[in-house]
Amino acid sequence: MKEYNKFLKYAYHHPEFIVGLLLYILSFLAWLILLSKKQLTTIFPLLAGLSYASIIIASVLFLKEEIDLFKIIGIVLIGVGILFVTKI
């Protein structure tokens, strides 16, 4: 019980922890909804490819990293690959 109280105290003083936990639960529910509507072989490559591309874009926007031609080509190829795999 002592550990539980310690956890509640931490969560109360760190609202970003609660926000992160709620976002994690939301992403899990979204994953379940997606899997109930589409096949895993369609959804997983889509999300994996989008995560790689979004990390590059976010690093340019928020971390002020420079993007070169190879990264741009990589993002385009990821997009083309997603189109082929998901048959959109």
Q: Are residues 30 and 52 in the same domain?
A: no
pLDDT in tens, 52-68: 888 988 999 999 999 89
Rounded alpha-carbon distances, angstroms, from residue 17 to 10, 13, 14, 24: 9, 9, 6, 10
88 pLDDT more than 70: no
Dist. CA 66–CA 51, nearest whole Å: 18
Structural domain that includes position 84: 39-88
Q: Are residues 2 and 33 in the same domain?
A: yes
The answer to whether 45 and 52 are in contact (CB under 8 A) is no
Higher pLDDT residue, 4 or 28? 28
Q: Are residues 44 and 33 in the same domain?
A: no
Q: What is the pLDDT of residue 47?
A: 85
Q: Which residues contact 57 (CB under 8 A, 6 or more apart)?
A: 75
Predicted structure pTM score? 0.60
Q: What's the number of domains the chain is made of?
A: 2
40 pLDDT more than 70: yes
